[in-house]
A and B are shown apart, each in its own frame.
Chain A
Amino acid sequence: MSRARRPAEETDVFDAIPPQLLLTLLVLSPGCVFLGMALLWLSGVKLSENTIARLANATYVFCGALVMGLAGSLWWADLASVSAGSGNWYEVHEFQIPLALFVDRLSLPMLGLTAGMTGLIAVFSRRYLHREAGFLRFFLLLHLFAFGCFLVFAAGSVDLLIGGWEIICVTSTLLVAFFQQRPEPVKSALRVFATYRGCDIGIVTGAFFLHHWAGSTLYQSVFKGDWPRQSLAGETLAAGDATIIGLLLLLGAMGKSAQVPFSGWLPRAMEGPTPSSAIFYGAISVHAGAYLLLRLQPVLVASPVASGAVVLIGALSAVHGTMVARVASDVKTSLAYSSVSQLGLIFVEIGLGFSWLPLIHIVGHAVVRTLQFLKAPSALHEFHHLHAAAGGHLPPTGAHYGRLLPPRAQLWLYRLALDRGHHDAIIDRFLTGAPRKFAQWMNRIERQLRLTPKIPKESSHG
């Protein structure tokens, strides 16, 4: 697997600190901080808010510096990528899951974005969550999330990426259910989790087929050339194989990036505290799906069908998102669906074969949306000033629907947008309805056979 790596000796200026070390340190540091804090907490040490906050600041300043160091060393040595490997995670005969980190012009901006945004959110949350019972829990999850993101963006293979992917899934779920004493957040979190996991079927089987047909999931084995001019290496994948893998990966990406018809979880994820909504659903987590497709773009390029599907899903999501955002009357839902529509556009850009454009779009969207999420509780204040500055006459919005559409069509479209395209009902009734009914049926059978032990009522609360 070291065949693409250039010898370290060439990078003489960075001899003392090889970029491989920087990369490994970068990925590990939030993970270590998470582990350390978790162990201290488990052993009964009470960390003060100040300590937790300082530790977080230090971590992300350090991570930021590492990203800059990485960028510097890549630039200095005129390298397109750096990879660091350390043996195999898992090995059975021919089949291996190597622990390989990899950074190039695509992953570096994503790493920088993650370090920067997580740092900002850590500073923000220090005040926002002051005196909150779950203060430590929030920061623990934030570090774990950063670790997961670094793993996704710095993974050298799809397998390792899936590891980070699942960590994001878990932290996201736990932060949606941050206020676990109320039932709604927990229910919403369950929905988020179920959507994520359902779509994960795509990415896991996609990785399986990649192993099967291409013999490896290492980017450096499957692809040749440097991003953004990468293509499939040799004859690794037939067009039909690429289509299947591309479609499966698309399924995985759709869940994470809340694309049609799986966007219903995104507004529900707003149950958590505002900064976690900002970092997950404004900045980083929702873009992971787009990153996955961008990363594996050569597979899409090899299959017009898969590319077409990405464009289609993206376009549908873009229109769906903007329609729903336009009728949403609460600030966070409106922002959530605006994100869906921009993510849709990013998907379209990726499907059309652009590389730099979607990357810039991801970064820009993350910046704009994070600020909007963080400012969401100011909506009243801002509208009041805006209204006054406009002299009490803000131009009416949405009037062109009245002009362009006949009243019936208007109502019909409004109804459709209000119910978010009925996607939730479609999923609940047609996608998950059958398995649920099957489970209920099994449950009834079981009860009739009296196989369930009678559980005393009080212990069910415990």
Chain B
Amino acid sequence: MQAQHENSAQLASPSEEARSLRLKHALEHAAHLLPTQGPIGVFIHHNTLHAFQHLPFEKAIGEASSIFGTEPYMAEEAYRQCLARGRILEADIWDVINREENEVILPGRLDRRTLRGILLLRGQASFDAATVDWVLEETGILESGGHALYAICLKLAGQDRTAAPSHPGRPVGLPRLGEVDLDEVIHPLLIRLAAVFLDQGVAYWPMPNRHKGFLGAVRDAMAQRGALFPEYLEGLDAAFREQLERGSSAEEVVIEVLAQLGVPEEEWESALAGELLALPGWAGTFHQLEINPGLFPYIHLPCSLLEFLAVRLTLKSAAALGVARRLGMGAEEIRQARNVRELAAPHPAQGRADALALWDALGRLGVAEPDLADWNPTLQRRLVHEIQEFNPLERRRLLHLAYERRHEEDVLQAVAWHRREHPPVRQSVRPFADVFFCIDEREESIRRHLEEVAPEVRTHGTAGFFGVAMHYTGMDDAHGAALCPVVVKPQHAVHERPVSHHSNIHALRVRRRRTWARLLHHTSLFSRALVRGWLSTAALWPVSLFPLVTRVLAPRHYGLWTKALHRVWIPRPSTELAFERSESESITPESGLFRGFTLEEATDRVAGTLGNAGLREGFARLVAVLGHGSTSLNNPHESAHDCGACGGGRGGPNGRAFAAMANSPEVRGQLLTRGITIPADTWFVGGYHDTSNADITLFDLERVPLSHVPDLAKLREFFDAARAFDAEERARRFEAASPHGGPRKALLHVQDRAERLSEPRPEYGHCTNAVCIVGRRELTRGLFLDRRAFLVSYDAALDPEDNALARLLGAVVPVCGGISLEYYFSFVDNERYGCGTKLPHNITGLIGVMNGPASDLRTGLPWQMVEVHEPVRILFVVETTPARVMKVMSANPELAEFLENRWIRLATVDPGTGDVHVRRGDGWEMLSPTLEALPSVKISADWFRGKIDHLPIAHVAGPTSRRGNGRV
């Protein structure tokens, strides 16, 4: 006895240890279901259902929707409208159905495919149990002689109620006791506690004792005596006090409450998942910040999901006790409450609804009452079974496949036609300029316009960090940030520093910025304080009047004025990047990073990017490298519009660093040994393209050789023209822009949007993304792809070993696939996978948004970002052969999973013959070209002007065709 006591005091007994392990496992599994979004300031697109990626797409979204209670596809009605307006064709439906398993239903008369095809095309109706009686009585649906058939249906429909789906159901914690929803009781308090704990700088008075972790800080605050609780939570302070006295750990608290709530150990996982999924956003954020503390934007806190759970369960236990007290329940009854799962009893009219649906389907199949009555019961039952198996979910699945198929067909036929009519030819003339853009689909249009404006310019697409993965600290930045894809951990630090003779300007700048910050900090605190608030509201209010009026009525001008003031008062020194490092230097101990790149490393970066893009020689005299990002106001999701390849950052510095490296004579010397020849008269210029306000900024212009200055001036003119046309193309989607305003006005319009406080859609971001084309630019040059295609430059002829392809796909598939899937889910169920409409969003703690004052932390994309999206899985079109792409894909487990489980779609264009192959199921099919001709226009604007919807692919011949031959 004595020994046992000692044992438990010092070492956990074996059973406790097992329990603790079990809890850890259960929590890990439950946490798997939580959203994986970090604080919103750095928004990284990812597959919303990443946790389900090991399953085939259709199975995964089915399971996820039963666990989360979400929609897996668009509504059936939406697909029907697509059918009606020709977005889905009858042929697509049959094509999809003919790939499904077949079975004879009525020998010689009906098989499964025919049945499904007819029902899809003729639009099977569903009836709701709640309204079916009204339909039967009031609409006269059975009037035209349907009563007899309906009578049989009534008999048949109930016989074969399909069993509940095999999907796992929604996990349940302890949601209610009696009539009281316990979550409703505890959530207001829990949300407030979680919010003040994670707060990164909104509250003037931060929560005390946060260094003790969530449970510790909450205990200290909540254990205070003298507080008055809401009715059901009375006793919560005592519960926390008791925990304090006993010094219980989070784990002990969780285990105790689980026992108190009557959850047996084998149900822990489901119960924990149920509890966590009641507020998935908050729980997920705790989890993300626990496993990756680097995500805290300003203040690092000890964060733990287990502690969140412990607080949650303490609250829940108090609420359960409170409710039990009120209802006169005992401890045993609380334990029992969880087991009483009220299975939703079928609606009394459910049988009639089923019968009517069956009646409707039979009518559409042309089965008449006498026929049906004649058949033997086996046949009858088989038919009914088949019809009922073809439930709404199944119909939506097939409709979705048809919807994707039409998209795939349209894209591939157009690409095949273009490849056929305009086969790529090696250019013999040296281009005027080479311009590198990010692969981002938003850059597709500006590339096209640049080529239209200046056919002598060549454009390339590479991931927008240009191979330069770095931890970058700009002149104005307080801390550095990683500018590279999230999967890469940067090892090199790069600083922007003022050039030496401008150090005094820099000092002045820093001083003035500090003063400005102090002033602003105080005014923002002022207005929320008491006495100082009096000063700012009663005395200094006219200072706010000017911004209030101008920012609402003339936002663009306000932006111009403040920027001008800023320029005058806060001077900007010339700067350079400190990116070079000698061989001998090693990792700086405090940051754990290399300072800059050695010659070898710099050469690797340049060679990698140029080599992957298939550019080894024949460089133009000017090469511009444009990173991208997006600025907007009043937009908590601002970062979601930045460059995905820069980890949700802005890629300007990457372009600048790349250009500086490529201009270095030593690097060029090294490049020669790797088969890349950069001519002596080639000059690289780094730059930044803002996809929101359409600005293009070029860096280090004072370093451009005099010989290149006129050319650069010309290139900038081209940029200016192209970005105006690009703005016009973007503006076509915005109803607020005049459809016939022309490029100049469109440019002003998009600039206005970026400055407007009232604009929830500064730009549409990745919305409408649908395709990723990996291949030579000649494959797509002259195609109007409607800003829907990621374009990755790649030349299979220069990559016999497929090494470049492996590198490219290894980066591009997860990034583009993630973006595409995040948009898919946020679109099909915007309230649950996405974060709903932006309009009531309320920033909390600088880490996320809530709806109003107290809701779950909303993850995913807002409706305003996805509203014009077409939810299709991204279609990769790779210019290589099926064998080569499969070799690459199967060698990389992540890519293999994406492909085999069909989270992406894949096709190839043969680099030699131009044949197009499509991956279907486990095999490849060759696309038979059916397209006679693609609509052809002179310039893109002829195709898009005045139109607001998605546009089919067209051929843009260019204002003066340089390719003369081969045109239709």
Q: For the complex, what is the distance from the CA of A124 to the CA of B524, rounded to whole Å?
A: 22
Give complex CA distance A384, B527 in Å: 19
Given the interface contacts A329-B202, A383-B201, does A375 sit within 8 Å of B228 by beta carbon? no
Give the docked Cα–Cα distance between A3 and B220 (Å): 66
Taken together as a complex, chains A and B put the C-alpha atoms of A333 and B528 apart, in Å, by 11
Complex interface: chain A residues within 8 A of B521 (CB)? 386, 390, 394-395
Across the interface, do B298 and A331 meet the contact criterion of CB distance under 8 Å?
A: no
Contact B527 A390 (CB under 8 A): no
Question: Is the CB of B513 closer than 8 A to any CB of chain A?
Answer: yes
Interface flag for A401 (CB, 8 Å):
yes
Q: Is the CB of A411 within 8 A of B534?
A: no
Q: Which of A147-155, A231-239, A304-312, A334-342 is found at the contact surface with chain B?
A: A334-342
**A229 adjacent to chain B (CB < 8 Å):** no
A28 within 8 A of B: no
- Distance A365 CA – B476 CA, assembled complex (angstroms): 34
B853 engages A132 (CB within 8 Å): no
Min CB–CB distance A330 → chain B (angstroms):
4
Number of A-B contacts (CB under 8 A): 289
How far in angstroms is the closest Cβ of chain A from B377? 33
Task: Give A144 to B284 CA distance when docked, in angstroms.
Answer: 42
Size class of the contact patch on chain B? 35 or more
CA distance A126 to B842 in the complex (A): 20
Contact with B along A366-394 (1 / 0, CB 8 A): 01111110111111111110111111111
On chain A, the residues within 8 Å of B530 by CB distance are 318-319, 321-322, 341, 345
Within 8 A of A (CB), among B506-562: 510, 513-514, 516-518, 520-521, 524-525, 527-530, 533-534, 536-542, 544-545, 547-549, 551-553
Q: Give the distance in Å from the alpha carbon of A290 to the alpha carbon of B226 in the complex.
A: 33
CB distance from A115 to the nearest CB of B (A): 13
A5 within 8 A of B: no
Q: Is the CB of A341 within 8 A of B553?
A: no
Contact partners of B651 in chain A: CB under 8 A? none
Q: Which of B476, B538, B548, B756 is in CB contact (< 8 Å) with A388?
A: B476
Q: Is the CB of A132 within 8 A of B517?
A: no
Q: Are A458 and B130 in contact (CB under 8 A)?
A: yes
Q: Given A124, A407, A425, which contacts B230 in the complex, CB threshold below 8 Å?
A: A425
CB distance from B78 to the nearest CB of A (A): 16
Asked if B207 is an interface residue, CB under 8 A from chain A, the answer is yes
The answer to whether A391 touches B510, judged by C-beta atoms less than 8 angstroms apart, is yes
Chain B residues within 8 Å of A393, by CB:
478
A contact residues around B756 at 8 Å (CB): 127
Of all chain A residues, the one with the shortest Cβ separation from B479 is A392
User: A274: CB under 8 A from chain B?
Assistant: yes
A132-B837, A390-B518, A412-B226 given; A271·B853 CB < 8 A: yes
In the complex, whether B199 has a CB less than 8 A from a CB of chain A is yes
Q: Mark A356-372, 1 if CB is under 8 A from B, else 0.
A: 01001101110111111
Please give, as numbers and ranges, the residues of chain B lying within 8 Å of A267 by CB-CB distance: 853-854
A458 with B228: CB separation less than 8 A:
no
- Chain A, residue nearest B198 (CB): A329
Q: Hey, which chain A residues are within 8 Å of B839, CB to CB? A: 128-129, 132, 179, 273-274
Determine how close the nearest CB of chain B comes to the CB of A274; give it in whole angstroms: 6
> A418 and B221: CB pair below 8 A?
yes
List, in ascending order, chain B residues with CB within 8 A of A226's CB. Answer: none
**Which A-chain residue is minimally distant from B541 (CB atoms)?**
A364
**Is B118 at the interface (CB under 8 A from chain A)?**
no
The distance in angstroms between the C-alpha atoms of A272 and B853, with both chains bound, is 10
Q: Would A185 and B224 count as touching, CB distance under 8 A? A: no
Q: Is there an interface contact between A374 and B867, defined as CB atoms closer than 8 Å?
A: no
CB pair B514 A365 closer than 8 Å:
no
* Cα-based distance from A311 to B526 in the complex (angstroms): 23
Contact A415 B843 (CB under 8 A): no
List, in ascending order, chain A residues with CB within 8 A of B850's CB.
330
* B220, A411: Cβ atoms closer than 8 Å: yes
Q: Are A380 and B842 in contact (CB under 8 A)?
A: no
CB closest chain-B residue, reference A363: B541
Give the segment of B405-413, B630-638, B721-729 that binds chain A: B630-638
Given A331-B844, A365-B541, A394-B201, residue A371 in contact with residue B548 (CB < 8 A): yes
Chain B residues with CB under 8 Å of A429's CB are: 228, 230-231
Q: Which of B196, B477, B634 contacts A329 (CB 8 A)?
A: B196
Kindly identify which residue among A319, A381, A402 contacts B633, using a CB–CB cutoff of 8 Å: A381
Total residues of chain A contacting the partner, CB 8 A: 102
- List the B residue with the shortest CB-CB distance to A377: B634
Q: Which of B183-226 contact A (CB under 8 A)?
A: 192-193, 195-196, 198-199, 201-209, 220-222, 224, 226
A142 CB–B CB distance under 8 Å: no
B533 lies within 8 A of A338 (CB): yes
B residues less than 8 Å from A397 (CB atoms): 204-206, 525
CA–CA, A384 and B554, complex, Å: 24
In the complex, what's the smallest C-beta–C-beta distance from A327 to chain B, in angstroms? 5
Residue of A nearest to B518 (CB): A390
Does A426 lie at the interface of the complex (its beta carbon under 8 Å from any beta carbon of B)? Answer: yes
Interface centre among B41, B517, B837, B839 (most CB of A within 10 A): B839
Query: Measured between alpha carbons, how far is A422 from B228 in the docked complex, in Å?
Result: 6
CB–CB B636/A380 < 8 A: yes
Given contacts A374-B757, A376-B843, A412-B226, contact A369 B851 (CB under 8 A): no
**Once the chains bind, are A414 and B842 in contact (CB under 8 Å)?**
no
* CB-defined contacts of A11 to chain B, threshold 8 Å: none
Per the bound structure, the CA–CA distance linking A193 and B596 in Å amounts to: 62
B347 interface residue (CB < 8 Å to A): yes
Choose among B192, B202, B864 the residue that contacts A331 (Cβ–Cβ < 8 A). B202
Distance (whole angstroms) from the CB of A300 to the closest CB of chain B: 20
Q: Bound complex: CA of A382 vs CA of B632, how far in Å?
A: 11
Point out the residues of chain A lying under 8 angstroms from B746, CB to CB. Answer: none
Asked if A195 CB lies within 8 Å of chain B CBs, one says no
A360 to B534, CA, bound (A): 11
Q: Is B845 part of the binding interface, using a Cβ–Cβ cutoff of 8 Å?
A: yes
The interface residues of chain A lying within 8 Å CB-to-CB of B231 are 425, 428-429, 433
**When the two chains form their complex, are residues A330 and B851 in contact, meaning their CB atoms are under 8 A apart?**
no
Chain A neighbourhood of B864, CB < 8 A: 131
Select A416's contact among B129, B227, B513, B759, beta carbons within 8 Å.
B227
- Contact residues in B for A384 (Cβ distance below 8 Å): 41
Are A380 and B41 in contact (CB-based, < 8 A)?
yes
Using known A-B contacts A179-B837, A185-B840, determine if residue A327 contacts B203 with beta carbons closer than 8 Å. Answer: yes
Q: Is A398 an interface residue (CB 8 A)?
A: yes
Q: Which of B203, B208, B518 has the most chain A CB atoms closer than 10 A to its own CB?
A: B203
Contact with B along A426-455 (1 / 0, CB 8 A): 101100010000000000000000000000
A367 touches B846 (CB 8 A): no
Q: Is the CB of B528 within 8 A of A377?
A: no
Q: Shortest CB–CB separation between residue B954 and chain A, in angstroms?
A: 27
In the complex, per-residue mask of A266-287: 1 if CB is within 8 Å of any chain B CB, else 0? 0110111111000000000000
Residues on A facing B (Cβ under 8 Å): 49, 120, 123-132, 178-179, 182, 184-185, 188, 267-268, 270-275, 318-319, 321-322, 325-336, 338, 341-342, 345, 357, 360-361, 363-365, 367-372, 374-384, 386-395, 397-398, 401-402, 407, 410-412, 414-419, 422, 424-426, 428-429, 433, 458, 461
Q: List 30 A-B contacts (CB under 8 A).
A: A49-B735, A123-B552, A125-B758, A127-B756, A127-B758, A127-B759, A128-B759, A188-B853, A272-B852, A274-B839, A322-B529, A330-B853, A331-B202, A331-B842, A361-B537, A367-B542, A367-B545, A368-B544, A371-B551, A378-B635, A383-B201, A391-B513, A391-B514, A391-B517, A394-B201, A411-B220, A414-B208, A418-B193, A425-B230, A461-B130
* B binding-site residues for A, Cβ under 8 Å: 40-41, 129-130, 192-193, 195-196, 198-199, 201-209, 220-222, 224, 226-231, 298, 347, 349, 476-479, 510, 513-514, 516-518, 520-521, 524-525, 527-530, 533-534, 536-542, 544-545, 547-549, 551-553, 633-636, 638, 735-736, 756-761, 837-846, 850-855, 864, 867
- Taking A383-B846, A416-B227, A428-B230 as known contacts, 10 extra A-B pairs with beta carbons closer than 8 A to each other, sorted by chain A number, are A128-B760, A268-B852, A271-B853, A325-B204, A333-B842, A371-B551, A389-B513, A391-B478, A392-B479, A398-B206
Q: Which 10 A-B pairs have the closest CB atoms?
A: A392-B478, A364-B541, A398-B205, A271-B852, A390-B517, A330-B844, A329-B199, A389-B517, A422-B228, A273-B839
